Structures are given as C-alpha cells and as structure tokens.
Amino acid sequence: MQTLFIANWKMNMSFAKISAYADIFRKQFRALKDGRRDVVFAPPFLYLGATQDYLAFSDGISLGAQNVHWLESGAHTGEVSAAMLLEYGVDNAIVGHSERRQFYGENNADVSKRAKACLKHEIKPIVCVGEKEFSNIEISYTEVLSQLQSSLEGITDEEATKLIIAYEPLWAIGTGKAATTEIISLLHDGIRVELSKLFPKNGNTVPVLYGGSTTPENIAEIMSLENVSGALVGGASLNPDVFSQLINNGRSSKGID
C-alpha cells in the first residue's frame, strides 16, 4: 500500500512564507527512490502558482486543491472548476473536508458531485469523512460508513483506482488530541471493508489516510496500523521542519525510505 502525506494549509500562508518554507523543506525532503510522489501540498487557490513554482516542481511532490466545483464553468461567483485546476497542474483535490461540511453547509450529495468532477478530469479526489463527536465505536461506524456510501455515490469501480479517502474525526481536528490508535484502527478497518463492498475489484487498493492532530511524534504509531496509508495534515504541515519530520517518521513506520 502506498504512503501519502497531504499538507492541508487551509486559509494560511503568504507569498513570502511559501518561498521561505520551500527553501527549508527542499533541503530536508527526499523523493522516494521508486519515483512515486507521496507528498501533496494543498494551498489556498491564490497560492497554487507559487506552490507549484517553489515546491511542486520537485520530484516526489504533487499539487493539491482544497476544494473544487462540480460544474465546468458558468455563473458561480467564487468557485473554481476541476477543468481549471487541471489546467494549473493540480493532481489532487480535497473534497468534503469537515470545515466545508460544518461551516459552508456541504452535504454528501455535493461531495459526490465534486469527487465525480475530479475523476472526470483525472484529478484524484481526497474524500473526507468523520464523525462529529465520539461516544462509542458503533455510533462512529454508522455515521462514518453512511457518509462514505453517500459521498461515493455514482463512482465506478474503475474510477476507484484514482480515489483517496481520509478519515478525519471532527473532534480530533486542530484540537491537539489525535484519535487513539484503537479508534483509528477500528474505523480504518471498517472503511476498508466498506470500500471492498462498494468496489469489489479496486476497493482494496484505495489509500485511506488519517487526519486530526497528527504530529512527528504520533505519526509512526498511527501509520503502523495496517489500514492507514498516510495522513492529511493541517497544523503540522505549516512548519517545514515539522512536516518533513512527520513524513520521514511516517515513511519509516511503513518500512519505506
């Protein structure tokens, strides 16, 4: 299973900060020997160009977007389409992040439309799911698996080869309190089983990332779990030293160098 580390910069950074970040990050980052790109930077739309120039031209690094609209073009003020992102060299797009769901009213039907638009344009969607609160594992399963089914509605088994899932419990995002490895393991196993049901041919190969207060200190334990392929990283991706350390520790945990 491939490793994958996505830097979700959210509404942070500036042109000056990106250039300073890149100087430090590129000194510490090594691309994988097999040439695979396992690191994605997802900046605010406005900084896609600078991120492309400073970071995503390097071996091993791809460019990502934080959102995408499902239509090609038209009267949709403030929106950006998958066709436009592709033109810019974007490889991945986060869809259905909990902050979009929570603060901007996105629902599962929107998420599936966004994911499908990505797939149509050969952009790999990173579809986020996660429960709002944790009370017990059964409730979390039900909430997360139903989100997963509805968010992936209409996606074919063939298209699943381009799909990435991120399990991001809301209560762990930006709180400094990652989910326990027990919860992560149970939810990732459940997601894996569901993916295999939804996509009998390719479901087993879909990377499932964990997101929520990952750090260089906790990533090795999280990635030692069988069904965790990588991380969607918020706060810890804003510092180049911290993010490169997180990548190194996560890779080593999977025996990759």
Q: Is 234 in the site for ligand PGA (CB under 6 A)?
A: yes
Q: Is 173 in the site for ligand PGA (CB under 6 A)?
A: yes
Comparing every residue's Cβ against ligand PGA, the nearest one is 234
Token couple for 119: 């797939």
Q: Which of 106, 131, 168, 194 is catalytic?
A: 168
We find the least distance from the C-beta atom of residue 7 to ligand PGA, in angstroms, to be 9
Q: Is 200 in the site for ligand PGA (CB under 6 A)?
A: no
Question: What is the DSSP pairing of strand 92-95 with strand 39-42?
Answer: unpaired
Token couple for 84: 């436009």
Tell me the per-residue interface mask from 9 to 48 with ligand PGA, x by CB under 6 A, - otherwise.
----------------------------------------
Torsion, Cα 33 38 42 46, to 10 degrees, reads 30
Contact range with ligand PGA by CB under 6 A, out of 39-47, 54-62, 74-82, 209-217: 209-217
Q: Is 174 in the site for ligand PGA (CB under 6 A)?
A: yes
Q: Any alpha helices (H) in the chain, and if so which ranges?
A: 15-28, 48-51, 82-87, 98-103, 108-120, 137-151, 181-198, 219-223, 240-253
Q: How far apart are CA 45 and CA 92, in angstroms?
A: 13
Query: How many other C-beta atoms lie within 10 A of the C-beta of residue 198?
Result: 18
Q: Is 214 in the site for ligand PGA (CB under 6 A)?
A: yes
We find the least distance from the C-beta atom of residue 73 to ligand PGA, in angstroms, to be 28
Catalytic residue numbers read: 97, 168
